Amino acid sequence: MAKQYANKPDDKQQKKKLFMKIAKYLFNTKKVPLRQKYKISEALEILKDSKLKIDDLLPLFPPDEKVKDMKQHLCDCLDDYQQKIKNLKDELESHSQSAEQLRKQQRKQKHKHITINPSQMCDICFKPIFDREFYVFPCQHAFHRQCIQAKLASYQ
């Protein structure tokens, strides 16, 4: 029942705190030798129901607890971490490739230029382009900033 209430909050941090309280309760209740093994397995079950990891629960385990009882959960946790590391490496590689492509494009753009004829006119108002701020596109169309902004605004 406590697990159901711990799963209710939307906030992940709040859920984690509630599940940690449940785990602490399981470990701190009166130790009965026959129940000890059951409490440990019950606490480990929390890992399946929550966002807790084995390393969150390790400080709660009694010092005399045998690792073999936790072996499968430890292996699962290590497998999870290994998969996350692999995913992060793949993501990092993808971002590195994208960054390299952007750097190549930037280097190409640095060497591109457009020659503008001194008599170039704005393709909207047909006044000399050098009178005001302007934009020139690779197709050689040139527009005053105000002219193109007004034209674009008229389409909205």
Domain residue limits at 61: 1-67
pLDDT digits 0-9 by tens, 7-36: 667 777 777 787 778 777 776 665 555 445
d(C-alpha 131, C-alpha 45), whole Å: 75
Residues 41, 53 share a domain: yes
In this predicted model, which residue has the larger pLDDT, 38 or 23? 23
CATH code at position 133: 3.30.40.10
Tell whether the model's pLDDT for residue 67 goes beyond 80. Answer: no
Residues 77, 52 share a domain: no
Task: Determine the average pLDDT of the residues in 108-133.
Answer: 91
Q: Which residues partner with 136 through β-bridges?
A: 142
Residues 155, 103 share a domain: no
Residues 62, 2 share a domain: yes
Residues 84, 24 share a domain: no
The average confidence (pLDDT) of the chain is: 80
The pLDDT, as a whole number, for residue 41 is 66
